[in-house]
Amino acid sequence: MPSPTTILLVEGARPAVSLAPLLESKGYHVTRASNGREAVNRLRSEAPALVVVDCTTLHTDGLKICVDLRAHVDSLSIVLVVRAETDTDQITCADSILARPFTPRKLLNRIARLLPNSTGEVLTRGNFTLNIGSRCLWIGKTENHLTPMQTRLLEAFMRHPDEVLTRKYLMQNVWKTDYTGDTRTIEVHIRWLRKIVEADPGKPRLVQTIRGVGYRLKFP
């Protein structure tokens, strides 16, 4: 029998309602942490497939924990649980954001979409090979594991090789929103993408900024 998928759940030591029983009832192996330091230690020892950070139960800054976890494993999938009044447009560290209240089904569906699949459509452009299902990118012989958002962003570029993709197009087709008032989320993910594909991210040759328009990926 395959081992159950491990989810790291970061929530307060005594939450009013823990998400652990729900996740365990669906067959996930849940390992828990109640603060940032413990979460990073669990990340190193457990190698979870996904992290759920429940900011609503924490006494510390859940967003900082999210950023710290991403800094240790940038390909990590993170679901952030926040309060309904939180300004989610400014949150760039998570792959998915759920505002309370939400149904158990919504959380489980969101997790299922973020977990990697062993198989999936494969795109090849130049010496880039992307397996969309497993979120694995090969550049020549080098393997890279991507987050769901990084995968969707790279997929958009690979389906439109050498084309300029506008910021509006990326927000609508990658982030699935018509909101274009703040494009810092795109800029952050472009920076992360450059760290993966560029020999010198500070002097990018492949992921090009087209000033005032958007971005283009030139495949080697």
Rounded (5°) CA angle 14-17-19? 100
Confidence (pTM): 0.62
Model pLDDT for residues 27-52, shown as the tens digit of each residue: 889 999 999 999 999 988 888 889 99
Residue 8: per-residue pLDDT: 94
What are the structural domain ranges in the chain?
A: 6-114, 122-217
Q: Is 93 left (phi over 0), alpha (psi -120 to 50) or beta?
A: alpha
Model pLDDT for residues 186-207, shown as the tens digit of each residue: 998 999 999 999 999 999 999 9
Model pLDDT for residues 2-23, shown as the tens digit of each residue: 457 889 999 998 888 899 999 9
Nearest Cα to Cα of residue 195 among 91, 44, 74, 49: 74
Going by C-beta distance under 8 Å and a sequence separation of 6 or more, which residues neighbour residue 113? 96, 148
Cβ neighbour number for residue 94 with a 10 Å cutoff:
26
Strand, coil or helix: 46: helix
* Maximum separation of any 2 CA atoms in the chain, in Å: 53
Q: Which two tokens stand for residue 64?
A: 């900082």
Q: Which amino acid is at 6?
A: T
Residue 85: per-residue pLDDT: 76
Q: Which two tokens stand for residue 212?
A: 């005032």
Residue 22: per-residue pLDDT: 94
CATH of domain 122-217: 1.10.10.10
Cβ neighbour number for residue 93 with a 10 Å cutoff:
19
Model pLDDT for residues 94-135, shown as the tens digit of each residue: 888 888 889 999 999 888 888 876 556 888 898 898 988 888
* Helix residue spans in the chain (DSSP H): 20-25, 36-46, 62-72, 104-114, 148-159, 167-173, 184-197
| Long-range contacts from 101-104, C-beta under 8 angstroms, 24+ separation | 104/22
CA dihedral 43, 78, 17, 100 (to 10 degrees): 160
Which CATH number does the domain 6-114 belong to among 1.10.1040.10, 3.30.70.1020, 3.50.50.60, 3.40.50.2300?
Answer: 3.40.50.2300
